[in-house]
Copies of this chain bind each other. A is one copy, B any other.
Amino acid sequence: MPQSTDELKTQIKRLNSKAGQIKMDLHDLAEGLPENFENLLPLANETYAIYRQLDELKKQLKQVEQKL
């Protein structure tokens, strides 16, 4: 059963705040290099996963809204 726009919007809102936080973590790590370079890949992978999921949810929302 496809999710409702409200459910999608709630998920997007929650993920957006996570994305905003991890974006700053990645920004700070990049700025602090070479310090902490060992954490770069785990953090980049986590950041990518969040932004890809966010991208997919936004596409789903667009599709659901077009059907209304």
Contacts and interface: CB of A to CB of B under 8 A. Distances in A.
Interface residues of A, number: 19
Contact of A30 (B30, B37, B45, B54): B30
Contacts of A48: 37, 40-41
27 contacts: A19-B33, A19-B34, A23-B30, A23-B31, A26-B26, A26-B33, A27-B30, A27-B31, A30-B30, A30-B47, A33-B47, A33-B51, A34-B51, A34-B54, A34-B55, A37-B47, A37-B48, A37-B52, A37-B55, A40-B44, A40-B47, A40-B48, A41-B44, A41-B45, A41-B48, A44-B44, A44-B45
Q: How many copies does the complex hold?
A: 2
